[in-house]
Structure 1
Amino acid sequence: MPPVWQQAATLSLSCLAGRQAAAMTFLLGSDLTINRLGFGAMRLPTGTFQGPVRDPATGIAVLRRAVELGVNHIDTAGFYLRGEVRANDLIRRALAPYPEELVIATKVGPLLGPDGMPSEEAAPEQLRGLVEGNLRDLGVDRLDLVYLRVGGMSGPGGVSIADRFAALAELREEGLIRHLGVSNMDAAQLAEARAIAPVAAVQNAFHVHDRGDAAVLAACEEAGIGFAPFFPLGGGFRPIDATRLEKVAARHGATTAQIALAWLLAISPVTLAIAGTGSLAHLEENMRADRISLTPDDLADLG
């Protein structure tokens, strides 16, 4: 059977609306219930990796407001930083002691190169140090979800990830990690990881105008694995053409960003939208996306 995102255009309006209303949460790793509309922390220190540093006070305000608006899934990484402003530090300062229901996901694997970009990769023996750094910076004894991010600044595929994922699996057995994920991986690499230890979530590039990882999404849907696209609003190297979303946005009285997020929530029950921002106004806008129920006509117009 094709994945839900390929079937959605054929669903009746009542069926689609009912499915969306009932599925705004996801059971991560069989024991953590999270809202599918979460928050990505990458843009808290800076708008881009090369951009100017942002005011830490604004980042703290954004994080606190996100939780007030219902976010209980925050995605971060130790390499989300600019100068002295670090996303993990802001999360701890804003939210610790953490609400019991809050799930914090982080990524390890990338190392910052001389230019400050996460363009280098850690060896298996370096991953413990990266995990311990996240534990220390976030102020926790165990990380809820740790993704192994591979591939540097390039796309997924082409190399074995077994040694690195096995190193993280050992840390999970020690109790430092609750659940494991993989990021920037193709279907073969996902299968390789799953043969070593359970995979709770995948984080790959994917959005309304970048559907190249459809095979990975299909594998996640079949296995009940969360699929959390990075750059869900088209940042990075694959922008969204907002003009192609305007018709549907006008139909709902919404912004194109809200439609892009609503599309992710509509196409599969396992997709997790983790839009990031350093702006309170953009946060408020993004968090209204889960109120939009896209119809089959909307999905057809979005392609």
Structure 2
Amino acid sequence: MRIRVLGSAAGGGFPQWNCNCPNCDGVRKGTIQAAPRTQSSIAVSNDNINWLLFNASPDILTQFQRFPELQPGRAIRDTAVRGIVLMDAQIDHTTGLFMLREGKTPLNIYCTDMVHEDLTQGNPIFNVLSHFCGVSWHQIPTAVGSTFQVEGIEGIRITAVPLSSKAPPFSPHRHDPHEGDNIGIQLEDLGSSKKLFYAPGLASIEAHLLPFMQQADCLMVDGTCWTNDEMQALGISEKLSLDMGHMPQSGPGGMIEALRSFPEARKILIHINNTNPILREDSAERQILLQEKIDVAFDGMDFSL
């Protein structure tokens, strides 16, 4: 099973268009050791021919151009993408669907009932796409033990795991959370039995997640903020990291502490906010992650399990 990181940043990317925090200002001016990043998405394949896309970021066209395997050129109009799995209905994970509207066949989109509701009512992307290529919706089951597979990606078994977090601000049930608003994903290569646990948004390590994380050969999880008050300290927002549904990395109960419970797995942080000091390759925070054997995802990161 091959995993390609198409984008590794949180919403807004890095640098964010209107942000002059030390990270964004520094990467624009070339005064810090940091690489720009697009908004988070990964692609997965078990044959290097057919690919499954996880989330469709607003940066999707740039991401496709940087990864030619997604455009194999077998016909006048072609793609290697056999399906798109949406982890939630957030703008930074769904807006890229508009950029895929030129196809002659409907987009094969896999998402939960709640995400489907949000994308047909609160932010009716699916309704708009019906006037172009259309959408072939496949329901993601969230009942314990339920799995599914994607046509063309038969060698990978997928399990969706509900996460506790908020639906997007435009959701009809924003203040009434439902199971399926956000999910984590376990991917199992049926040939090698290797497993990836992918959760770019993670508010807490809930008890029902532990078996999936314990089984994982690789944990690719939420890397949004270093501290809970990161945005407040910079004067950018009054919201805490946990308010936004993201575990901070540092401090008691943080992601670093949680990941120590899985010593055998490779650990990778993804969905990194532009304010996070781990973006700076020479930072003290990056050194801490190095000591903890935790990697920081970057655009173009490519590995196999």
TM over 0.5: no
Considering fraction of residues, name the structure with more strand.
Answer: 2
**Higher share of residues assigned helix:** 1
TM-score under structure 2 length normalisation: 0.38
If the length of structure 1 is used for normalisation, what is the TM-score?
Answer: 0.38
